[in-house]
């Protein structure tokens, strides 16, 4: 099997780390390779803040919802949506720039690029023997506190964080979490709603069996879906984005 396909087929989120350091050369290799990722309109509108100071990582863990997997990681890479550098470069050239910027395309482009970046860091880290988890809480829990901690200027905001560390041995040998079946998520020529719904219902049962097999008591997949669809505090997030200069 192709080594890239083999790597991705066997990847898993890692939340338990040994405490060993990530090799500096490996970290730089991951980040330099990351910069070759595809990005919308070639605006290269992301920046990356790599945090390894343990006290700062513990604060970030708190701001992400008290996540132990963040606190115990050797490195926490914050992916930042960064229009500040684009606006600043235009001003440097003497251009007049609208200070209050907001559009669906601006926000969706940054989240799209950040998703690609997060997955790329995860796969590159895996390829070098490290483990990671993508953390959405950097945006959804306490983004203002994170922005202040990292000295993020106006027209920037944290989108995702990616932990990086040496995985515990038992994690390497743990079974892969199941996924929805291929035929329930991949359709040729046209979408099949019944098959898609069927896939979610079947996956709910399969995931319950997986949790039981590893003696973990967690909510069912559909319980998580129900909670997710209730939404998050959009008013608080809108206020944060407005404060960062993303407003109509």
Same domain, 86 and 26: yes
Asked, for residue 89, whether it belongs to a domain, the answer is yes
Same domain, 160 and 221: no
pTM above 0.75, yes or no: yes
Class of residue 167 by CB neighbours under 10 A (exposed 0-12, middle 13-18, buried 19+): buried
Same domain, 42 and 159: yes
| Lowest-pLDDT range of 106-110, 116-120, 143-147, 239-243 | 239-243
pLDDT tens column, 14-35: 999 999 999 999 999 999 999 9
Same domain, 154 and 203: no
The total domain count for the chain is: 2
Same domain, 190 and 158: no
Same domain, 67 and 154: yes
CATH number of the domain to which 34 belongs:
3.40.109.10
| Position 83 pLDDT exceeds 80 | yes
Mean pLDDT of the 49-64 span:
97
Same domain, 190 and 167: no
Task: Please give the structure tokens belonging to residue 7.
Answer: 């790597």
Q: Which residue from 105, 104, 110 is spatially nearest to 85, judged by alpha carbons? A: 110
Same domain, 143 and 69: yes
Same domain, 184 and 163: no
| Position 237 pLDDT exceeds 80 | no
Task: Please give the structure tokens belonging to residue 84.
Answer: 């500040």
Domain that holds residue 185: 175-234
Same domain, 36 and 50: yes
């Amino acid at each position: 099997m192709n080594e890239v396909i083999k790597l991705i087929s066997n990847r898993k989120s890692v939340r338990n780390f040994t405490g060993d350091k990530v090799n500096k050369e490996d970290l730089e290799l991951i980040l330099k390779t990351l910069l070759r990722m595809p990005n919308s309109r070639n605006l290269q509108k992301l920046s990356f803040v790599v945090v390894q100071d343990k006290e700062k990582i513990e604060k970030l863990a708190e701001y992400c919802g008290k996540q132990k997997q963040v606190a115990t990681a050797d490195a926490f890479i914050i992916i930042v949506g960064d229009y500040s550098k684009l606006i600043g470069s235009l001003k440097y050239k003497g251009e007049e720039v609208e200070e209050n910027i907001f559009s669906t395309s601006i926000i969706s482009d940054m989240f799209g690029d950040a998703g690609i970046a997060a997955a790329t860091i995860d796969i590159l880290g895996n390829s070098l023997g490290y483990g990671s988890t993508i953390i959405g809480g950097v945006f959804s829990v306490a983004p203002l506190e994170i922005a202040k901690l990292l000295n993020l200027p106006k027209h920037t905001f944290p989108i995702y964080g990616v932990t990086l560390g040496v995985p515990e041995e038992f994690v390497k040998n743990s079974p892969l979490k199941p996924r929805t079946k291929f035929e329930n998520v991949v359709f040729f020529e046209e979408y099949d709603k019944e098959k898609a719904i069927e896939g979610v219902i079947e996956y709910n049962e399969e995931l319950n069996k997986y949790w039981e097999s590893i003696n973990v008591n967690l909510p069912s997949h559909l319980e998580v879906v129900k909670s997710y669809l209730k939404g998050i505090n959009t008013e608080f997030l809108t206020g944060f984005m407005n404060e960062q200069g993303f407003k109509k």
